[in-house]
Amino acid sequence: MKVAAIFASYNRKDVALECVARLRAQTRLPDLVVVGDNASGDGSPEALRATGWDRLEVLDTGDNLGNAGAVQMAMEHAFDRGCEAVWILDDDSWPRPNALEAMLRDPWDGRTLRHPLQEDPATGRFTWPLQLVDDDGAVTLVSSRDELPSGERLRSRGVWTGALVSRRIRQEAGPVKGDLFIRGEDEEYPWRIEQAGFESEAVTAAVLDHPGPRDLVSMNLFGKRLFLERGLADWKLYYKVRNMVWLKKCQGGAGTALAMALAYAWGIGREDGLHRLSLWWEAVRDGWAGRLGRWRRQG
Question: Which of 174, 209, 244 is the last residue before a domain boundary?
Answer: 209
* pLDDT (0 to 100) of residue 299: 65
Q: Which domain holds residue 63?
A: 3-209
**Contact present, 2 and 83 (Cβ < 8 Å):** yes
Question: H or E element: which one contains 70?
Answer: helix 66-80
Question: Which of 209, 239, 262 is the last residue before a domain boundary?
Answer: 209
- 58 and 169 in a common domain: yes
CA–CA gap between residue 148 and residue 91 (Å, rounded): 26
- In b/e form, how buried is each residue of 234-271, taking b as 16+ CB within 10 angstroms? ebebbbbbbbbbbbbbeeeeeebbebbbebbbebbeeb
Domain count, the chain: 2
- 119 and 17 in a common domain: yes
Question: H or E element: which one contains 64?
Answer: none
pLDDT tens-digit series, residues 34-46: 999 999 999 999 9
Q: Could you tell me the pTM of the whole model?
A: 0.94
- 181 and 148 in a common domain: yes
**Sign for the pseudo-dihedral over CA of 176, 177, 179, 181:** negative
pLDDT of 218 > 80? The answer is no
Provide the angle, in degrees to the nearest 10, between the axes of the packed helices 234-252 and 254-271: 150
pLDDT of 227 > 80? The answer is no
pLDDT of 153 > 90? The answer is yes
CA–CA gap between residue 107 and residue 92 (Å, rounded): 29
**Contact present, 23 and 7 (Cβ < 8 Å):** no
* pLDDT (0 to 100) of residue 219: 72
**Contact present, 52 and 78 (Cβ < 8 Å):** no
- 294 and 190 in a common domain: no
- 107 and 242 in a common domain: no
pLDDT tens-digit series, residues 41-86: 999 999 999 999 999 999 999 999 999 999 999 999 999 999 999 9
- In b/e form, how buried is each residue of 145-170, taking b as 16+ CB within 10 angstroms? eeeeeeeebbbbbbbbbbbbbbbbbb
